[in-house]
Amino acid sequence: MARSGNLSVLLITTWAFTVCFAVWMMFGVIGIPIREQLGLGSTEFGLLTATPVLTGALFRLPLGIWTDRFGGRIIMLLLLVGCAVPVWLSAYATTLWQFLLLGLALGLVGASFSVGTPYVARFFPRERRGFAMGFFGAGTIGAALNMFVSPWLIEAYGWQMVPKVYAVVLLVTALLFWALSARDPGVGSQAPSMWRQLSVLRDPRVWKYCQYYSIVFGGFTALSIWMPQYFKTEYGFTIAQASLLAACFSLPGGAFRALGGWLSDRFGAHNVTWWVLWVAWVCLFLLSYPRTDLIVHTVRDPLSFSIALPSWFFTMLLFTLGIAFACGMASTFKYIGDDFPDSMGAVSGVVGMAGGFGGFLLPITFGVILDWLGFNSSCFMLLYGIIWVSLTLNYLTEVRQAPVMGEQVRSPAAEQSR
């Protein structure tokens, strides 16, 4: 296929994923007025916002396999059209169980990642797949798009307008996608059997990548959902202000994913992942410290001290964490593109499912811990502990194995020069 054809497929598929991701994160913003309307607690709010993520996680593996067998073009089209219905109906929900049921249905849009990743990868040679998949993955910028669009619609027309607008956008995107996309190269009668696709999951590397992705993508998804209400409760901002500041995390999380793909092509997936985990560890350590007031009794009068992150410094740390998570998402899929080029649908499906499960479980856990401990920064303490697990796993399986792993982490340029 011509280079211009590759570019058009990449652009329209990335836009489709951007729209899907915005819809997937919808409850992160409209959930705030819904929470006030229904009088929900922190755990119930976490369940409300995380429910769409559950379906997106569960269906990533089957949709990834179906993409390998039937092609990403038709699967993506069906996803865009089919999910417009529950998105529209959610505007008329009035009870928590109705929101949860519709959230499960519309959450299918989150599985679009496992459709688009192998789809766009097939249009590019091996040495450019890291960039292509990273560029497509930049569609997670839809989380930031949701934080810009939803508050404006809420203030102007009420939260019910948000799902109605998103449903129309899904249908329009479906038309554009069908017009500008192309049939998958290599998909058809040569598709591997279902058993052969699933047999690759016995490889331990797959589960290691699942652990990486559960924190970089799962953490990104969970914080994108959680941060608007965090800014509102911790700093007292309005919904619009809180969403705008929360976008400082979601925006780089999408925009820098292409950079992460390029860096992974240039320096290797392992090197990028290693430094991503260390940067995230430092950011989460600082973000974890709760607002604290100290009283020191002197020989004269008591002295009071307050230790807290100002909103500008907190936002700067979030911005840095968003960049790190973006590069980590891209480097994880660079691993997959290099190690499993013939089974990308199945492997990206199960790895994406692990990331989706992280995005589902973390907001609920955030709510449970918040109800238990009572301070907002507890969510970062949890992520800090998970990062430690990833760092330890990376060190034991790759850093200590450097002489063995060297061949796997070489850049394509190095391979060509040999």
Coil vs helix vs strand at 92: helix
What is the tens place of the pLDDT at every residue in 142-187? 888 888 899 899 988 999 999 999 999 999 999 999 988 888 776 6
DSSP codes of every residue in 329-389? HHHHHHHHHHH-TTSHHHHHHHHHHHHHHHHHHHHHHHHHHHHHH--TTHHHHHHHHHHHH
Interatomic CA distance for residues 121 and 370, integer angstroms: 41
If we measure between CA atoms, which residue out of 373, 103, 364 comes closest to residue 222? Answer: 364
Instruction: Please state, in angstroms and as integers, the Cα–Cα distance from residue 22 to each residue in 92, 192, 217, 244, 378, following that order.
Output: 19, 33, 15, 15, 26
Q: Are 293 and 304 in contact (CB under 8 A)?
A: yes
pLDDT tier at 302, thresholds 50, 70, 90:
confident
Query: Is residue 301 one of the residues assigned to a domain?
Result: no
Interatomic CA distance for residues 292 and 272, integer angstroms: 35
**Structural domain of residue 42, as residue ranges?**
3-183+203-292+307-412
Query: Is residue 285 one of the residues assigned to a domain?
Result: yes
Task: Find the CATH number of the domain harbouring 395.
Answer: 1.20.1250.20
For residue 22, give every residue at least 6 positions away whose Cβ sits within 8 Å of its Cβ, in sequence order, or none: 142, 143, 145, 146, 149, 166
**What single-letter DSSP state applies at residue 303?**
E
Name the most confidently modeled range: 94-108, 141-155, 265-279. Answer: 94-108
Instruction: Please state, in angstroms and as integers, the Cα–Cα distance from residue 203 to each residue in 200, 209, 275, 313, following that order.
Output: 6, 11, 25, 42
Query: Is residue 417 one of the residues assigned to a domain?
Result: no
Which stretch of 157-161, 196-200, 387-391 has the lowest confidence by average pLDDT?
196-200
Judged against a pLDDT cut of 70, whether residue 218 lies above it is answered with yes
pTM attached to this predicted model: 0.71
Interatomic CA distance for residues 137 and 115, integer angstroms: 11
Q: Are 114 and 61 in contact (CB under 8 A)?
A: yes
Query: Is residue 267 one of the residues assigned to a domain?
Result: yes
Query: Is residue 194 one of the residues assigned to a domain?
Result: no
Query: Is residue 73 one of the residues assigned to a domain?
Result: yes
Mean pLDDT of 252-275: 81
Query: Is residue 363 one of the residues assigned to a domain?
Result: yes
Interatomic CA distance for residues 186 and 21, integer angstroms: 27
Interatomic CA distance for residues 150 and 252, integer angstroms: 19
Q: Are 10 and 177 in contact (CB under 8 A)?
A: no
What is the count of structural domains for the chain? 1
Query: Is residue 19 one of the residues assigned to a domain?
Result: yes
Q: Are 277 and 328 in contact (CB under 8 A)?
A: yes
